[in-house]
């Protein structure tokens, strides 16, 4: 497989300052892409942008803000004149709690960032791609978006919404040269996983390492994913050669959704 499969392509990534987003930015840059990066953490994002060997447009951005999403899309159009790939990666989680005890504000926060953020992003991305030569959109959902996830009800609801948005959009634009897919990772060694492990540790009076082991034991492969395993799949889904896949929610979960 060519190491320059994204040569000259314009790739937008939200939530790019850390985790999957930051690693994806590095991988796309290594394969020749020009990047439009955004994150709420502007300082960390600027540091990443400065370290990449690529042309980079970066912006501090709250994905739940419609005006901010529109402004970022205008900046992408002005800078690059096109958009080829979009990765809607920005997302948040909540503390573990049974549904009947979860504050309604947490549900609202999950839906605002995880679902509304993807919806607003796709509105702008589809518009840019329709004006150009089409493209590929990848929404980062979760295994919690295709299976039940007890004690993570609001997070799961938001990620199920991402899968629904993905499939609806894919149906709408399939004949217009735009592919829309979702990736559904389970537990992976990212900052979000550390937050979950800390929550489990608190709940069970354990250390983070003990909690991490407890979580990994739920996965048939007996471990959590390495971020590069998930990002490798992200690039494959967006690869121009992967031209007949759309409307799919691809689980990268060590077999978790198979049980």
Check if the beta carbon of residue 210 is closer than 8 Å to that of residue 252: no
155 included as an active-site residue: yes
Active-site entry in 80, 119, 155, 187: 155
Check if the beta carbon of residue 255 is closer than 8 Å to that of residue 219: yes
Query: Residue 181's closest CA among 248, 259, 90?
Result: 248
Establish how many alpha carbons lie within 13 A of residue 232's alpha carbon, considering only the half-sphere containing its beta carbon: 7
Identify the helix (H) or strand (E) that includes residue 179: strand 178-185
d(CA 86, CA 36): 9
| Number of other residues whose CB lies within 10 A of the CB of residue 245 | 16
Extract the tokens encoding 254. Answer: 């060590």
d(CA 34, CA 80): 8
Query: Residue 90's closest CA among 133, 127, 53, 119?
Result: 119
Catalogue the active-site residues: 155
């Amino acid at each position: 497989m060519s190491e320059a499969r994204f040569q000259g392509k314009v790739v937008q990534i939200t939530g790019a300052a850390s985790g999957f987003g930051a690693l994806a930015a590095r991988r796309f840059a290594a394969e020749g892409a020009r990047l439009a990066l955004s994150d709420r953490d502007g300082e960390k994002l600027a540091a990443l942008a400065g370290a990449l060997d690529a042309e980079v447009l970066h912006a501090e951005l709250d994905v739940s803000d419609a005006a901010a999403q529109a402004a970022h899309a205008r900046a992408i159009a002005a800078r690059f004149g096109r958009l080829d790939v979009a990765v809607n990666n920005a997302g948040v989680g909540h503390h573990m709690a049974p549904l009947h005890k979860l504050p309604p504000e947490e549900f609202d926060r999950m839906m605002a960032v995880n679902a509304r953020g993807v919806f607003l992003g796709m509105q702008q991305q589809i518009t840019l791609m329709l004006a150009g030569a089409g493209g590929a959109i990848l929404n980062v959902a979760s295994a919690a978006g295709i299976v039940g996830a007890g004690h993570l009800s609001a997070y799961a609801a938001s990620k199920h919404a991402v899968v629904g948005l993905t499939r609806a959009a894919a149906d709408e634009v399939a004949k217009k040269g735009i592919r829309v897919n979702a990736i559904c990772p389970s537990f992976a060694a990212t900052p979000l996983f550390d937050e979950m492990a800390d929550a489990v540790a608190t709940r069970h009076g354990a250390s983070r390492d003990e909690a991490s082991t407890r979580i990994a034991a739920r996965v048939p492969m007996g471990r959590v994913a390495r971020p590069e395993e998930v990002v490798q799949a992200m690039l494959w889904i967006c690869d121009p050669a992967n031209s007949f896949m759309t409307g799919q929610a691809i689980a990268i979960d060590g077999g978790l959704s198979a049980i």
